[in-house]
Amino acid sequence: MEPSLPLFIRNTQEKFHQQGYVILPQIFSAHICDQVFDHLDEVVQSGPGSRRLLAFDWCQALAKSLKSHPFISPLLGPTPIANQCTYFEKSPDQNWLVALHQDVSIAVQPNAAATQLGISQKEGLSFVQPPVEILEQLVALRIHLDDCTPNNGPLKVVPGSHQQGRLSDPMIAKLRDHSGEISCLVPKGGVLALRPLLLHASSKMTLPQRRRVLHFLCGPRQLPNGLVWHETI
Ligand SMILES: O=C(O)CCC(=O)C(=O)O
């Protein structure tokens, strides 16, 4: 860790390393979030999420702001890229939950190396499950476009669970019982950074609100073993 970094940044890096997540409030203004809503209105939505938002200039601009932010860039590797942005919306009309899991897929170009790993298609993207050494280098950055409260289905995480590699179902249950789940409450404009291997879940909302999130996946520019990112911003 670089000694010249201010104490806050070093503490943030340390917490991210130990716990696998960190909440950074006040990264984007309410005005920027409202501008994003205008853009999202133009994006045709089907179901709770859309995985292809990095195709839009406004989304690429957000990715660049994230990568260069002084609090966020120290959490990313030396040559970070954003590979994908997914929009998640919970609302009274789309009130959903997900069980505890790790994110183990990345969007890549469907070349020979990807075919060897086994490709699955979603929304026209090719996904593979890469080796754990790659997954350990990834960072998810979630921009919260609404205040995320205990009542609107916050992400729940099992602190430290990212350090155990890919987990079997019995290990997931054991780690949850041992470490418990923390609800990640993030104010509008804040960013939740997490390791995709961190166990995470989310419940249905209990009040009729909206919880809208842009979820960026970042990683190192170069992938090993012939794998090539679908997109690099
Ligand atoms: O946004 C949520 O509540 C769930 C997101 C999730 O499960 C994921 O990104 O894998």
The model's pLDDT over 166-215, given as tens digits with 9 standing for 90+, comes to 999 999 999 999 999 999 999 999 999 999 999 999 999 999 999 999 99
Does residue 15 form part of some domain?
no
Show the ligand 1 pocket: residues with CB < 6 angstroms.
Answer: 88, 98, 103, 153, 155, 200, 202, 213, 215
Distance CA 16, CA 22 (A): 6
Confidence at residue 82, expressed as pLDDT on a 0 to 100 scale: 98
Task: Report the pLDDT value the prediction gives residue 43, as an integer from 0 to 100.
Answer: 78
Question: Between helices 30-42 and 57-68, what is the axis angle to 10°?
Answer: 150
pLDDT of 119 reads 98
Q: What is the DSSP code string of 92-118? A: SSS---EEEE----EEE--SHHHHHH-
- For residue 103, the ligand 1 atom closest to its alpha carbon is 10
Q: Within a domain: residue 90?
A: yes
> Does any domain span residue 130?
yes
Domain annotation covers residue 3:
no
- Where residue 41 falls among pLDDT bands split at 50, 70, 90? confident
Task: Tell me the CA–centroid distance for residue 90 and ligand 1, in Å.
Answer: 11
CB count, 10 Å around CB of 203? 20
Q: Please identify, by atom number, the ligand 1 atom nearest to the C-alpha of residue 86.
A: 9
Q: Which of 14-23, 47-56, 65-74, 120-129 has the lowest mean pLDDT?
A: 47-56
pLDDT tens-digit series, residues 122-132: 988 999 999 99
Distance from residue 198's CA to the centre of ligand 1 (Å): 11
- Full domain range(s) for residue 216: 20-28+47-220
Residue nearest to atom 10 of ligand 1 (CA): 103
Q: Is residue 83 part of a domain?
A: yes
Instruction: Tell me the three-class secondary structure of 76-90, residue by residue.
Output: CCCCEEEEEEEEEEE
The count of structural domains within the chain is: 1
Lowest mean pLDDT among 42-46, 144-148, 185-189: 42-46
pLDDT of residue 5: 65
CATH number of the domain within which 202 lies: 2.60.120.620
pLDDT digits (tens, 9 = 90+) for 60-104: 999 999 999 999 999 999 999 999 999 999 999 999 999 999 999
Q: Does any domain span residue 85?
A: yes
Most confident segment among 37-41, 86-90, 107-111? 107-111
Mean pLDDT for the chain overall: 94
Average pLDDT of span 12-24: 98
Torsion angle defined by CA atoms of residues 77, 191, 59 and 76, in that order, rounded to the nearest 10 degrees: 0
Displacement of CA 85 from its chain's centroid (Å):
8
Looking at ligand 1, which residue's alpha carbon is closest to its atom 1? Answer: 88
Ligand 1 center to 3 CA (angstroms) = 34
How many Å lie between the centroid of ligand 1 and the Cα of residue 71? Answer: 23
Is 233 inside any structural domain? no
- Asked if residue 45 has pLDDT above 90, the reply is no
Inform me whether the pLDDT recorded for 2 exceeds 60: no
Instruction: Assess if residue 139 is contained within a domain.
Output: yes
CA of 41 to the centre of ligand 1 (A): 21
